[in-house]
Structure 1
Amino acid sequence: LLFYAPPALGAYTAAREAPKAVAEQRYFDPLPATSPIPLTLTQFTSRVQQDHKRDIGGRSVRMTGFVTPDKGADGWYLTRIIFTCCAADAQSVKVRIHGAAALPANTWVTVTGTWHPGGTLGTSSAPAALDARTVKKVAKPVNAYTDALPLF
């Protein structure tokens, strides 16, 4: 009898699946006056694609995830894999990063930047993309597989 432990979910898994669709949201609380604004990848994507007030435009945000190379292109994604129940239902949330060199796949980073213009902000045509100002290597958060701000 031979047992094989599968590799941890990470960039390999995320690169092979489409990003998780965000749930429809009609109302958004005002953004805090702090800068940069700490957001989850889902919160950022929802704001970019569904907030008709377009409050995220021009605001500096800070998000944490791991590096996933963009296969076939010269860019990368900031990624979180989210479990609802177990590994079988894992889904990836990805934000495309512009203006910063990628670190090795699966490296945990915190990225600070502003929304990368494209499409119409506040609609589904707006890409979940960020113009990076800083990329800082960080430890893997304790809550790595949740859709929450990181706990270190």
Structure 2
Amino acid sequence: MRRYGPAALLLLTGGAVLRITLSGELYLRYVQAGLRPYLIVSGAALVLLGLVTAFVSGGGPEQDGHGHGPRVAWLLTLPAVALLLFPPPALGSYSADREAAQRAAQGVGAFPALPAGDPVELTVGEFSSRAIFDSGRSLKGRTVRLTGFVTHGDDGAWYVTRLAVACCAADATTGKAEVRGADALPADTWVTVTGTWRPKGALGSDEAWPPVLDAGTVTQVKQPADPYEKA
């Protein structure tokens, strides 16, 4: 069966890619929605290549090696099997807590007006950008609603946090807002927080990060199908 090792690796890898891409929205844990067609094509190509490799290998002579190389090569199938059977969860508090605060490379300036009506639904990234850089103070006096997962600070503070991706999970950056006036839930719990912005620090300064949200309500929610915001 050693001759079929490369074919098995291709088939398992292709099958894993197709599984996470075709089984609902599981692929959104790793890449943006726009990349789905490319994943489907790549997975199908790997499966087809695996079948061709198996067919070609079946017609060749059996290798008679006594070394450990072929046996060790089979270990390469383990990551593909793991992905096929046990796809990992979306990035969460572990990733967020280990990334330095990254803020948009933009200067202080006026932002477009917020939509009428309260509460206004914002991404965590939008709230952070307006809180830190908006010279027009568009958040002042407005009630906002943010959805994200819980992370904890070393000083007892807790945050509603969201990871933003430009392409895939590998380039994720962290946005967060400190929540005050409500008890913290366990890390990685998804919540929707409704509240008002509390100004702190000078615009564009390190002291303004992370922005603060005085909570009116905190509601536990399910993780959304797409757990990431767009960077």
The answer to whether structure 1 residue 141 and structure 2 residue 212 are counterparts is no
The structure richer in helix per residue is: 2
CA distance in 1, matches of 2:204, 2:103: 14
Correspondence for 1:73: 155
Identify the residue that residue 128 of structure 2 maps to in structure 1.
45
Residue-pair matches, total: 146
| Off by >6 Å, runs of 4+ in structure 1 | none
- Give yes or no for the alignment of 1:99 onto 2:195: no
Q: Distance in 2 between matches of 1:13 and 1:104?
A: 16
1:49-100: CA deviation from partner (whole Å, max 9, x where unpaired): 1111112122111010000111x21111111112212222111111111111
How big is the shift at 1:7?
Answer: 5.4
Matches within 5 A, 1:3-152: 3=79, 8-24=90-106, 26-70=109-153, 72-120=154-202, 122-124=203-205, 125-127=207-209, 128-147=211-230
Larger Rg: 2
Higher relative contact order (CA 8 A, sep 6+): 1
> Normalising by structure 2, what TM-score?
0.58
Structure 2 segments unaligned to the other structure (5+ residues): 1-74
State whether residues 131 and 199 of structure 2, in contact with CA within 8 Å, keep that contact through their aligned partners in structure 1: no
Structure 1 segments unaligned to the other structure (5+ residues): none
Which residue of structure 1 aligns with residue 58 of structure 2? none
